[in-house]
Amino acid sequence: MGRLVVRLLVFIVLLAVIAGAALFWVYANYTRPGPLAVPTTLVVEAGAGLDAIGAQLEAAGIIDDKMVFVLGARAEQAHTTLKAGEYEFVPRVSPREVVALLASGRTVARRLTVPEGLTAHQVLAQIDRTEGLAGEVPESVAEGTLLPETYHFSYGDRREDLVQRMELGLRQTLAELWPGRVSGLPLETPRDAVILASIVERETARPDERPRVAAVFLNRLRKGMKLDADPTVAYAVSGGTGVLDRPLTRADLAVDSPYNTYRYAGLPPTAIANPGRASIAAVLDPAQTDDLFFVTDGSGGHVFARTLEEHNSNVRDWRRIQRERAVQE
């Protein structure tokens, strides 16, 4: 009987030693640097279980042994807190650090930059082809309701939600800028400001010119003159896509469309693009000038004039530059 007790005690001690050694081995491998040699991005899909995540990490070479990852996560009671998403793992990251990262939810921040002056059609197309987003884009959105900006998103975010963020961004911008507008503007609503800003956006890409271009159009509105803005005609001729891969023709300038500001006075019925904050600000606080005309100067800017006579002279100069360039080519 005594020998049996001794043997049982020896067996229990042996089991304890083995268990202790096993725990030490798991802990050592759980906390030591892993095999990853270069930064690696991995997407953990929603609904993936602990075993599936461990297998995915092992297959990607981020950890050596999925069982160490699973046991360590369970021991730390972190296995129920792991979050889906796209993660970037640094070289030599340990299984314990992997668990901490997945539990933190610090996913990779992706970026989408929407340039100023794109139409709604163009913006939706850009969102549609952006990798990492889920779902479909809306079939259409109203022109001039999206704020051009750089947007951060995470893998799996919905395209529809990103569009809503752009719409909210424009509403917030207008709510901030409209109350501070200068007095006497021939604009009745924030929507009018967006419409005119979209024309300014398409007329010039130079920040220093925006307030002066805006002033020209505002002066013409005050006098009841037609805006005579080429971008509005291009919008009409392109069917609202804003894509026209040729110069405007005389026939284009005569097209019967409410967007043709050579035929119809006042603002077009909607914006012709999505203007940026700077163009909206320029419309609400334009340059102080009596200019009524402008024409390109051939170097990326414009020449402004107060009278038709001055403008016609500037147009002749521009045509001379065009002829000279044609000869050189």
Q: What angle do CA 220, 192, 231 make, to 5 degrees?
A: 65
| pLDDT value, residue 6 | 52
Q: What is the pLDDT of residues 47-64, one digit of tens each?
A: 899 999 999 999 999 999
| pLDDT value, residue 5 | 55
Q: Which of 258, 252, 254, 220 is nearest to 237 (CA)?
A: 252
Q: Which of 140, 46, 133, 62 is nearest to 95 (CA)?
A: 62
pLDDT at residue 22 tops 70:
no
CA 119 – CA 144 distance, rounded (Å)? 7
Q: Are 83 and 115 in contact (CB under 8 A)?
A: no
pLDDT at residue 11 tops 80:
no
Task: Give the number of other CB atoms < 10 A from CB of residue 308.
Answer: 10
Is residue 181 helix, strand or coil?
coil
Encoding tokens for residue 266?
């006042």
Question: What is the mean predicted confidence (pLDDT) over 78-82?
Answer: 87
- Residues in Cβ contact with 30 at an 8 Å cutoff, skipping those fewer than 6 apart: 68, 69, 71, 72, 94, 95, 96
Among the residue ranges 6-15, 248-257, 267-276, 281-290, the one predicted with the least confidence is 6-15
Q: What is the pLDDT of residues 150-191, one digit of tens each?
A: 999 999 999 999 999 999 999 999 999 999 999 999 999 999
Q: Compute the residue count for the chain.
A: 329
CA 197 – CA 224 distance, rounded (Å)? 18
CA 167 – CA 171 distance, rounded (Å)? 6
pLDDT at residue 110 tops 80:
yes
Q: Can you tell me which residue has the tokens 């899909």?
A: 45
What stretches of 157-276 show up as alpha helix (H) in DSSP?
159-177, 190-203, 210-223, 230-237, 250-253
Q: Are 313 and 293 in contact (CB under 8 A)?
A: no
pTM for the model stands at 0.84
Residue 8 pLDDT level (bands cut at 50, 70, 90): low
Question: What is the mean predicted confidence (pLDDT) over 214-243?
Answer: 94
pLDDT > 70: percent of the chain: 92
CA distances for 236 relative to 86, 96, 125, 144, 244, angstroms: 42, 60, 19, 15, 10
HSE at residue 94, side-chain half, CA atoms within 13 A, is 13
CA 185 – CA 215 distance, rounded (Å)? 10
